[in-house]
């Protein structure tokens, strides 16, 4: 007969070995996925490109096996339907990672590739507002048990800095102690108080964070074609996402930020089809090669498309390689025109973390996609932007205020009929802005 102490130790030994086996399985999957991913034609500035029009089906390879579950007996889900995330690998490989899924309003915490816990989001800023929750790669900043908002005189408890003026926190309350009843949020993410306290206790300063919109449930609008394989991509940066470039004091904080003019589609680590597709039939208006006055957009094609009787221009940027197209060439809906990459400024410029031709971080592979009123790289209505360095320059990829005011259109409600925009938010633009 085993004594109580020995039995207790035996149980812990089995738990330890079970967790070890699960971790090894997931790390093995990562190694396989990364090896498969690294074989894609993205590391070369000018990888070979098939000159004939091809479809994603023709370019595709047999799918790799389904990933092992990233959940175990220790995983804490907020509800039974959260089981869906047990079959999805984290978007990037990190020892600790927090994913903010703004579409499904969840915060997912991964450790060593295993899903540890899901925190439900109580409220986020309405979709389409200029000061909405930023998307992209971040690190957890300062943590405060009690913090005064920089926008309105309200207290936020268990506040964790997401990015600059944006925080994740509990339900705010006024200085007299009464809870805020309005659902206004200046781009911050609200959690119910008990969830906020739990989240505050788990997250550590410096933890990697990915804030994004999901394409897992995306449905393409009738008559349109997605520019990428939506089932294998996610939205790394959305239209109108804010980027802080001015640290001086402004009563209207909008003047501290510039706004993203398009949508950045990033592939999952298991993505097999990295082709870029024309969203509709059209005519090539401009072809720009990496390093030749590319404005940081690298290999770029602009195509005119007629949608609902109106001509607009779609920009496909940062491609690793392009089909050899010229101005005046016709393309058909869904036709492959290039391969997703991270080109810009004459090299593979865009990286996770610090950018630059000599940057050593993970390549920030994504398609920068815009819909605008003119076939040019810059803003259709001339605009001057302040870069993070403080330099003023012609706006490319960003505008000083809402991009809609400068001749841009939000691509998401144009491309997708459902499954992408946050379920609790309402868009300020009609389903088709063209």
DSSP assignment string, 238-297: -TT-EEE---S--SSGGGGEEEE-SEEEEE-TT----EEE-SSSEEEEEEE-TTSS-TT-
For the cut 50, the answer to whether the pLDDT of residue 179 exceeds it is yes
Whether 193 and 231 share a structural domain: no
SS3 for 22? helix
Whether 397 and 364 share a structural domain: yes
Percent of the chain's residues with pLDDT above 90: 67
Amino acid 307: pLDDT? 83
For the cut 50, the answer to whether the pLDDT of residue 129 exceeds it is yes
Amino acid 46: pLDDT? 38
Whether 225 and 182 share a structural domain: no
Instruction: Encode pLDDT of 19-35 as tens digits.
Output: 554 554 444 554 444 44
Tokens of 51: 């000159």
- The overall average pLDDT reported for the chain is 85
Instruction: Encode pLDDT of 331-348 as tens digits.
Output: 999 999 999 999 999 999
Whether 353 and 411 share a structural domain: yes
* Residue 386 belongs to some domain of the structure: yes
d(CA 161, CA 393): 29
Whether 202 and 259 share a structural domain: no
Whether 202 and 236 share a structural domain: no
Q: Confidence class of residue 242 from pLDDT cuts 50, 70 and 90?
A: very high
Whether 244 and 111 share a structural domain: no
- Backbone φ and ψ for 177, nearest 5 degrees, come out as 95, -10
Number of domains in the chain: 2
For the cut 70, the answer to whether the pLDDT of residue 248 exceeds it is yes
For the cut 70, the answer to whether the pLDDT of residue 433 exceeds it is no
Q: Confidence class of residue 150 from pLDDT cuts 50, 70 and 90?
A: confident
Domain boundary among 175, 210, 245: 210
Q: Report how far apart, in Å, the C-alpha atoms of 68 and of each of 65, 88, 114, 200, 276 are.
A: 9, 9, 10, 29, 29
**385 exposure class (CB count in 10 Å sphere: 0-12, 13-18, 19+):** buried
SS3 for 167? strand
Cβ contact 184:123 at 8 Å: no
Note down the domain range covering 116.
Answer: 80-210
Q: How many CA atoms lie within 13 A of 336 on its CB side?
A: 21
Domain boundary among 186, 210, 234: 210
Answer positive or negative: Cα dihedral of 336, 339, 342, 348.
negative
Q: Confidence class of residue 184 from pLDDT cuts 50, 70 and 90?
A: low
Whether 170 and 303 share a structural domain: no
Amino acid 64: pLDDT? 52
Whether 203 and 228 share a structural domain: no
Partners of 366 in the beta sheet? 341
Percent of the chain's residues with pLDDT above 70: 81
Whether 272 and 372 share a structural domain: yes
Among residues 46, 42, 93, which one has the least CA distance to residue 67? 93
Q: How many CA atoms lie within 13 A of 52 on its CB side?
A: 4
Whether 249 and 173 share a structural domain: no
Whether 176 and 294 share a structural domain: no
Q: Has this prediction a pTM greater than 0.85?
A: no
Q: How many CA atoms lie within 13 A of 329 on its CB side?
A: 17
Cβ contact 160:167 at 8 Å: yes
Amino acid 6: pLDDT? 44
More confident residue, 60 or 2: 60
Amino acid 63: pLDDT? 56
**59 exposure class (CB count in 10 Å sphere: 0-12, 13-18, 19+):** middle
More confident residue, 1 or 235: 235
Instruction: Encode pLDDT of 134-145 as tens digits.
Output: 999 999 999 999
CATH of residue 329: 2.70.70.10
Q: Confidence class of residue 390 from pLDDT cuts 50, 70 and 90?
A: confident
Q: Report how far apart, in Å, the C-alpha atoms of 362 and of each of 128, 205, 317, 349, 352 are.
A: 30, 21, 19, 11, 5
* Residue 47 belongs to some domain of the structure: no
Least confident among 211-215, 276-280, 306-310: 306-310
């Amino acid at each position: 007969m085993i004594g109580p102490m020995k039995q207790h130790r035996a149980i812990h030994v089995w738990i330890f070995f079970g967790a070890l086996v699960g971790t090894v399985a997931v790390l093995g999957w990562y190694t396989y996925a990364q090896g498969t991913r690294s074989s894609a034609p993205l590391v070369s500035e000018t990888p070979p490109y098939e000159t004939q029009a091809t479809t994603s089906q023709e370019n595709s390879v047999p799918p790799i096996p389904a990933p092992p579950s990233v959940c175990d007996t220790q995983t804490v889900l907020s509800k039974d339907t959260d089981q869906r995330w047990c079959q999805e690998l984290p978007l990037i490989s990190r020892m600790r990672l927090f994913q903010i899924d703004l579409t499904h309003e969840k915060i997912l915490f991964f450790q060593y590739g295993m899903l540890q816990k899901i925190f439900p989001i109580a409220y986020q800023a309405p979709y389409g507002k200029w000061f909405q929750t930023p998307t992209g790669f971040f690190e957890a900043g300062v943590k405060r048990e009690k913090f005064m908002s920089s926008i309105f005189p309200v207290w936020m408890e268990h506040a964790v800095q997401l990015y600059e003026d944006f925080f994740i926190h509990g339900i705010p309350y006024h200085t007299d102690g009464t809870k805020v009843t309005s659902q206004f949020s200046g781009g911050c993410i609200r959690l119910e108080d008990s969830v906020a306290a739990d989240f505050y206790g788990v997250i550590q300063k410096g933890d990697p964070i990915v804030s994004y919109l999901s394409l897992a449930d995306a449905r393409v609008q009738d008559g349109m074609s997605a520019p990428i394989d939506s089932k294998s991509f996610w939205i790394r940066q959305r239209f109108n996402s804010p980027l802080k470039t001015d640290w001086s004091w402004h009563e209207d904080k909008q003047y501290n930020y510039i706004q993203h003019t398009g949508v950045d589609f990033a592939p999952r680590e298991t993505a097999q089809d990295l082709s870029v597709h024309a969203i509709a039939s059209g005519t090539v208006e401009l072809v720009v090669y990496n390093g030749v006055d590319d404005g940081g957009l690298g290999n770029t094609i602009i195509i005119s498309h007629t949608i609902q009787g109106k001509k607009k221009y779609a920009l496909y940027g940062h491609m690793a390689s392009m089909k050899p197209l010229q101005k005046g060439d016709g393309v058909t809906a869904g036709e492959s025109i290039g391969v997703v990459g991270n080109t810009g400024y004459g090299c593979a410029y865009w990286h996770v973390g610090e950018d630059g031709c000599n940057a050593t971080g993970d390549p920030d592979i994504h398609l920068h996609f815009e819909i605008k009123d003119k076939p040019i790289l810059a803003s259709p209505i001339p605009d001057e932007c302040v870069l993070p360095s403080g330099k003023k320059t012609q706006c490319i990829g960003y505008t000083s205020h809402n991009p809609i005011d400068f001749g841009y259109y939000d691509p998401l409600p144009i491309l997708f009929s459902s499954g992408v925009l946050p379920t609790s938010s309402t868009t300020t633009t009609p389903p088709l802005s063209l």
